[in-house]
Structure formats: C-alpha cells, structure tokens
Structure 1
Amino acid sequence: MAIDLRIIEGEYLRDLLDQPQALENTLQSLDRPKELLTLAARLQRKKFQRIVLTGMGSSFHALHPLNLQLIGHGFTAIMVETSELVHYKTRFFDPKTLIVAVSQSGQSVEMLRLAEVNGKRSSVIAVTNTPDSPLGKHATAALCTHAGQEFSVSCKTYVAALMALKWLGDILCQRDARQSRRELKHAPGAVAAYLADWKDYVHQLAERLNCARHLFLVGRGASLAAVGTGALIVKESDHFHAEGMSSAAFRHGPMEMLSEETFVVVFSGDDPTRKLNHRLLADIQQEGGRAELVGETAALNCFRLADHSSSIRPILEILPIQMITLALAARVGREPGKFERATKVTTTE
C-alpha cells in the first residue's frame, strides 16, 4: 500500500523523534536529593508498611516495572489509579504509607484531589515533568524529568518517566547509583538507533496492518507498561480500537475474536514468562490469527528490539507501538496525536 508520510510529519512526530534528547536530558539531571534519601532510609527501617504507586493514564502504566522491583525486594507495593485512591481507598492515607505519584503535568484534577485528601498524612514522592506544579509543591521529595514541552499524546514524557522511576526504584532498593547510571545511559542511544529507521517501519506496518480493525497488545510482567500505554496512545492518536491486557487474560475470552480483522502484538518480555508469551503467539498463529512478536527475536524489523538489560527494556518496548500510531494515521490520511475532544491536561473528574 502506497502511503504519503507528509500527513504525519507534525508536532507528534517531532516529539517522538525528540525522545533520545529527552532521555539524555533526564539522565543528566537525575540526582539523589536529601529528602528522597531520608524517605529511603525510613523505608529500610520499616517505618512504612506499604508503598502506594499512583497515577493516571500512561503515568499509571509506567509504574508496572517499579511495582515489580519493589515487590521483588520484599516491600509491600500496591498500584492504584489516583481516581480510585482519592475516593475509595482513602484509608491508605496515613503516616505508614509512602506514596509515589506520577504525573507529567503535576496538575491533573486527580493530583489536585490527592493533595487535598492527603494533606500531610502520607509522605509523597512525586515524579513529574513540571517541578513547580501543585504535585511538585505538595510532595515530600521529587524526581523531575526533563522531557521538555509535549504537544499532545504522551511519548517523550512517558519514556523519561520510566527512566526516572527506574532510578527511584534503585534508590529505594539501595542499588549502587553508579551501576544504575551505567545501565540507564544506554537508553538514549538505543532509542535513537531504533528511530533512525522510522520511515521504513511506518511503511512496513502500514502494509502489515491492512484490513485490521481491532488491535490487541498483550504481555506480562514489566511489559504491562507498554501494553497499557500502547493501547491508550493508539486510541488517542488514531481513534482506532485497541486493547491492552495480560497474555493470560487474552486466553480468557478475547481469543474468540481472532479473525482477519484482528491483529495481536505479543511482547516477549522477561525470562520468567517469555516461553509462555511465545507459546501464545504460536497458538494464535496456529488458529489462523494475525500476530507478531515484539522483542529481541522478533521476525519483523519494526518489532525487533536491541538486546539490552531489563533496566531499559520498558523504554524500548513502547517504540514499536509508537510506529503503529504513525502507520495507522498514514493509512487513513490523518494527522496523528491531534486531539479533537481531549486535552493535554485532564481538568475534570
């Protein structure tokens, strides 16, 4: 299928191509503020009974890798959408709870409500792109990304948040800061190397997604960050039906939707469940379904990830889905990422 790339060469694409710089700027700014180290020391001394991880949209999905890291280290970590936390789970607001709140703007309506409901009962660690925002001012400690201004759909703020959250997790789990920085420093270059071939990927995907009307993104573990965020940005960018869920959940019903009009993206993911994800891919294809793998051994170039440590894999995993947003837009001749009903900052509950 012949497509014209000029329609997609707007602000959203510029934000996508700016992701390596956003990551580099964030990496250079990462520090270990005194307030954060104090909270980490209190956590080690068991002064907190639980860590509540909260956000909305892609900020919420970005918390999946941190959630697993904290649980793996022995902490009690709970992911809760902020909209649910402030209305239905308010008993979490007490001095024994450490809250990690993620918000690009730091001023969405849910973050304003969190500050109001919490008062000063729980200590709050903010991860935000806007340090002087209401969330930044309310927080006990903050890590700031340096992604710059973003046009609409979360992309460079999302990958920068993933980097900051990995840094935060390493601080809370008392990993060596030099090792953390060594791992994270590979992210800007790896993202730049992938994005160098974006035009080829868009053409490849525009052809591959022919006749697709339903898109499913499935994975396990830390890949749930890309699964959730990917489905969200496809809907936002392209007004195209997309669902994100665990690979296991896909077997519990959605398998019935396999057809020529359904396309499934399976994330290979980390070692513990990689074989299970590959088996799902094989089962879908055996049933005549359309599916492709995202990972280091993917068949398609656009879905193949460079072989790096698990520290930066969540950052790399979102890139092929960003290419899908461009391809879907190019297929129908619309500018991707241009909001018609939504706004960059959600101000209504």
Structure 2
Amino acid sequence: MAHATKMAAEASQTPDVFRTQLRDNAAQITALAAAIKQKDPEFVYMIGRGTSDHAGVFGKYLIETELGLPVAAAAPSVNSVFGKSLRLQKALVFVISQSGRSPDILAQAKMAKEKGALVVALVNDESSPLADLADFFVPLKAGPEVAVAATKSYLASLYALLTIVATCSDNQALHEALSALPDRLDDTIAQAPVLTAEILQPMERCVVLGRAFGYAVSREIALKMKEVLGVQAEAFSSAEFLHGPVALLNRGVAIIDVHVPDASASFHSGQIEEVKRRGAPVFPLLKVDDEVHPLVAPLLIMQRFYLDIEIAARTLNMDPDNPVGLKKVTETV
C-alpha cells in the first residue's frame, strides 16, 4: 500500500520490524541473557539522547518492575564535556541509538566499557562503531528511517528491551504477548484515527499525562507533538502534575490522556478525573483492551499516535517528513 509520506510508511513498517527482530535476534538475546545472569549487575545505566533517551525511560520502568534492578539515566556530558569517568564495573549498560554515531554517546559507551561494565548497544545502523565497542550489539532491524521524526526505531527499541527482559526473567506470558504483538499492531494500523486534525488544529499548548508506563511513553508523545505539529507540549506523570504543574490549567492548556491498563491504571484515572473537574479539556489516546498484556499496551498506543499525528499534519498543511529547523541525525559533544 502506498503512503503519502515517509513518516506514514515507516511507522506502518513496525509490525514487520518486530517480526524480523523475533526471527533474527533470538540467539543473540539468549546469549545476552546468560551474560547478564553471569555478570549479576547491581544496577543499570541507560545512555541515549532524544527519542532514544525516552526509550530508556520505558526501560527504567520495565527493568525495575520486572528484574528489580535500579536504573539510572546517563548524563553524557559528564564524560564528553567534563572528562569524568564513573564507577560502572558493577553495571549493566544499555546504549540506545538510531545511528550510534553521536560523539557524546560513543564517548560514554567507551568509558563504560573501560570501567568494566557489561555494555549492550541497541542500535539501528549496523555499521555503527558501537558494533565493535559493545560487549553485545543488538540490531534494532528497523531498516532505513528517513523521516526526521523517529517512529519505527523508537518502537523497535522498546520491543528489544521487552524481549531482553522477558528472556532474562523467563516470563512466558510476556514472550507470548511479544509474539502476538505484530498482528495486534496490524489491527491498530487499520483502525480509524483517535487524535484527529479537528482536535489538534486549535491546540497551541498541551500537557501529556500518563502514569508509570504511560508516563514513560508520554515523553516521546510530547516530543512528537513539538516536532511534527509545532505544539508546545510537556510530559508529566499524572501524579506529579497535581503537585504544582496543575496550575497550568489556569492558562487553558489541553490534556492528552495516555491510559495504560497496568497496575497504575486506577490511580491515573482518578488523576484524570481531577483535571476534568478543574475544567481541563481532555483528549484520550487509543484505548487498549484489558486482555492485552499491559507491558505491550504502550506500543499499541504509540503506533496509533504516530499515524494520527502524521494524518493531522498533512490535513493542516504541514510536512511531517521535514519539520522546520530539524534534521534527522543530530551529533552532539
């Protein structure tokens, strides 16, 4: 099927990306799980920028809830700008990147390897120098991604993290959900838009609210609202939002509701009812059926969201492939 934009085409390739990961990465991930068990790390350290950093936030919730390991996010400039090394000999380090070429990311990964960490690179570009630097190189298998707004590579990062954690924890229910997910994504792609141009056209500012895994993907949703639609967007945990930022509702800010049917769902719903009570306009994203495994539900929500904002951007005479002032690969020191 032909697509109007590269963003739509690439986002729609995600189910096949997942199928390729399942087929091609199984042996590598089994070996990685054995190495993690042997390393017996005391904590996890996530390295990434932009969308890849957002994948790390998802990884934090995933690893802490499923493996019981604390997860910290890297500040790459600590090494690349300040020249400081960290004590990472007891760490499991994930380096997440589309290109694997930004100098600060490479410097941080090199430092971690030199300090004795077990370094795992989740990278889409298989010619990346991280392939030689990391202890384990797990290709995301997303193929070329030309549109400036990352879609399939972000979801591929989440899928790889989920597969690694399912293997480390021997979680059969999660393995089954991951195997079924490509077909569920196909069904989600075929559905009607949820977040429409009619909703988005008057929106100048919004807050994206989620809790736990919903918050984890809210960071990426807010970024894409800015990148693709030029909407000023900020992500908050729905719990954190009530601790002060709720004052933003006095300025007519819209709320995007990211509801994930996990253990946090009832708490999040209560917080959404509170912002409604205060008069905020609330726009929910895709509602995922309760029988879907809660750890894969965020990926279904993101799949529909990516397609929705692409359609809305075209309807509003914007170019989702080439947002003004942005480029595909950003290299920072």
* Bin of the TM-score, shorter chain as denominator length: 0.7 to 0.9
Please state whether the residue corresponding to 1:258 is helix, strand or coil: helix
Residue of structure 2 equivalent to 1:3? none
Structure 2 Cα separation of the partners of residues 252 and 143 of structure 1: 39
CA deviation profile, 1:32-61 (whole Å, cap 9, x unmatched): 337524422223xx4x33221221112121
Structure 1 Cα separation of the partners of residues 124 and 182 of structure 2: 18
Alignment partner of 1:246 is 2:246:
no
Residue of structure 1 equivalent to 2:101? 107
Letter in 2 for 1:280: Q
Please state whether the residue corresponding to 1:66 is helix, strand or coil: helix
Superposed displacement of residue 73, structure 1: 4.7
Q: Is the 8 A contact 2:287 2:301 kept in 1?
A: no
Q: Which sections of structure 1, spanning at least 5 residues, go unmatched?
A: 1-5, 295-302
Moved over 4 A (4+): 87-91
Please state whether the residue corresponding to 1:268 is helix, strand or coil: coil
Structure 2 Cα separation of the partners of residues 210 and 344 of structure 1: 25
Question: Compared with structure 1, are the counterparts of its residues 184 and 194 closer, same or farther at alpha carbon in structure 2 (3 Å cutoff)?
Answer: same
Superposed displacement of residue 99, structure 1: 0.7
Letter in 2 for 1:305: V
Alignment partner of 1:280 is 2:264:
no
Matches within 5 A, 1:225-304: 225-258=216-249, 261-294=252-285, 303-304=286-287
Alignment partner of 1:162 is 2:166:
no
Matches within 5 A, 1:1-349: 9-33=4-28, 36-43=32-39, 46=40, 48-73=41-66, 75-84=68-77, 86=79, 90-121=84-115, 122-151=117-146, 152-173=148-169, 175=170, 179-197=173-191, 200-201=192-193, 205-258=196-249, 261-294=252-285, 303-307=286-290, 308-349=292-333
CA deviation profile, 1:261-320 (whole Å, cap 9, x unmatched): 5221122224432122111221222222100334xxxxxxxx222441023112112134
Q: Which sections of structure 2, spanning at least 5 residues, go unmatched?
A: none
Q: Is the 8 A contact 1:216 1:242 kept in 2?
A: yes
Question: Compared with structure 1, are the counterparts of its residues 286 and 73 closer, same or farther at alpha carbon in structure 2 (3 Å cutoff)?
Answer: closer
Structure 2 Cα separation of the partners of residues 233 and 215 of structure 1: 12
Structure 2 Cα separation of the partners of residues 35 and 279 of structure 1: 43
Q: Is the 8 A contact 1:258 1:290 kept in 2?
A: no
Letter in 2 for 1:194: T
Give the TM-score taking structure 1 as reference length: 0.84
Structure 2 Cα separation of the partners of residues 64 and 115 of structure 1: 18
Structure 2 Cα separation of the partners of residues 259 and 27 of structure 1: 47
Superposed displacement of residue 20, structure 1: 1.8
CA deviation profile, 1:189-232 (whole Å, cap 9, x unmatched): 111111113xx417x61122342211211111122231011111
* Aligned Cα root-mean-square deviation (Å): 2.7
Please state whether the residue corresponding to 1:102 is helix, strand or coil: strand
Structure 1 Cα separation of the partners of residues 202 and 65 of structure 2: 42
Structure 1 Cα separation of the partners of residues 316 and 242 of structure 2: 31
Question: Compared with structure 1, are the counterparts of its residues 84 and 274 closer, same or farther at alpha carbon in structure 2 (3 Å cutoff)?
Answer: farther
Give the TM-score taking structure 2 as reference length: 0.87
